[in-house]
Amino acid sequence: MKNTVKNATRHLVTKAYETFAANKSDISVISLPGEIWEFENNVITHNDYANTFGTKYDLEMVLLESNDDIYEYNSPENIRCFNDNTDIPANYVQKRNNVKYINEILGANHVKQLKSNNVFAWFDFCGNPTSHNIDLINTVEGKNVTYVFTFNTHWRCDTNVDPIVYNIAKEHNKAFAIYARIFGWAIAHKLSIVWAFEYISNQNPMITICISNDAAVIDNNSLKMIKISSEKKGNLSKSTAVRQYPTIKQKAVVVKRDLSAVYADVKAGVNDSTIRANHNISGGTLSSVKAWITMGK
C-alpha cells in the first residue's frame, strides 16, 4: 500500500505484535484484514521464524470480513482456485491450517471464543466510533492483551456514534472524544495507553489507539506516542437520517444520552455508587466521564 503514514502505522502495529509475542507459548490474533493483509502476512512470517529458529509458539488467527465482495475475493475457495496467484494478498495467509476467515461482523463473542489467553487484536474499523466497536475493550477480562483500535474522526454525529463520545466531542473534538472514551475503559480494566495519535489515510483523518496490560509492550518505550489535543476543532453536525448499527444477531439503534447531570454529580463529589444508581450508568461509563473531566482540566 503506497500510503506512507498508513504504512508506518502498520509497521508500528507489527512492532507491537513482535514485542507481545516474545516468550509466549501460545497467542491468538484477531483482526480485520480488508484488502491489504500486510499485517496478517507479517504475523505468519514471525510465527514461521520463531518456529524455525527454536522459539516456537502456537498461533491461532481469526480474521473477519463483513463485506461480501471482499470476503468472496479472499475466501479459501477462491484461493484454492488461484493457488499460484501471488496478486491475492490473502494467498500466503489463507494456506495455513491455523487461520480462520469468517464472513461476519466482528463482535465480542469472536474474541471470547479465542483459544489462547494471550490475545493480540487489531480492530482496524476505520469507521465511526460506535458503542458496539468500542465495547470490545470489555473482552479483556482475565486475559493478557494488546488491543489496537482505529477509527475515522471525520464522522457525522448520527445515531450510531457512541453517546459518550458524542457528548465529549461537543465540548472538545472527535479524536479527543474517542481517546477519552477508551481511556475511561482502560482505567476501569487496569490497562495502559501505549499510543494514541491522529493521522491521514487516503485523505481521511483517523485515530489509532493501543491499549495493553502486557508488561513487555508497556515497557517498550519505542512504541509509546500520545499526541491528542483536547482543543475545540469546529462544530458537529447531526445527520437527518436515522441509522442502525447491526450486531451479530440483530440490528439496534443506539440512543444518545445527556450526561450533563452525571458530570455535575462527579464534580460535586457524589460517591460512585450513588451516581451509578441515580443515573443508571455502568462503571465504564462513569470512568469515561471522570477521564473526560480529568483530561479536560
- Grid cell listed for 63: 480474521
Instruction: Give the separation between CA 218 and CA 147, rounded to whole angstroms.
Output: 12
Please name which of 36, 46, 31 lies closest in space to residue 89, comparing C-alpha atoms: 36
Under the banding of pLDDT at 50, 70 and 90, the label for residue 264 is confident
Domain 4-256, second-level architecture: 3-Layer(aba) Sandwich (3.40)
CB 69 within 8 A of CB 34: no
Inter-axis angle of helices 283-296 and 163-171, nearest 10: 10
How much is the pTM?
0.80
Strand pairing partners for 251?
A: 246
| pLDDT tens digits, 77-127 | 766 555 555 567 788 898 899 999 999 999 999 999 999 999 999 999 989
DSSP H stretches of helix in the chain: 4-21, 38-52, 68-74, 76-81, 91-94, 108-112, 131-134, 163-171, 174-188, 215-219, 260-268, 272-279, 283-296
> Which residue type does 180 have?
A
| pLDDT tens digits, 267-285 | 788 888 888 888 887 776 7
Please name which of 90, 21, 105, 23 lies closest in space to residue 60, comparing C-alpha atoms: 21
Instruction: Give the separation between CA 56 and CA 39, rounded to whole angstroms.
Output: 20
| pLDDT tens digits, 126-168 | 899 999 999 999 999 999 999 999 999 988 756 799 999 999 9
Taking only Cα atoms into account, the Rg of the chain, rounded to an integer number of angstroms, comes to 20
Instruction: Give the separation between CA 129 and CA 2, rounded to whole angstroms.
Output: 26
CB 13 within 8 A of CB 214: no
Q: How many CA atoms lie within 13 A of 66 on its CB side?
A: 11
pLDDT score for 241: 39
* Domain chopping of the chain, boundaries: 4-256
Q: Is the pLDDT of residue 243 over 70?
A: no
Instruction: Give the separation between CA 42 and CA 171, rounded to whole angstroms.
Output: 40
83, with CB counted inside 10 A (0-12, 13-18, 19+), is exposed
CB 243 within 8 A of CB 256: no
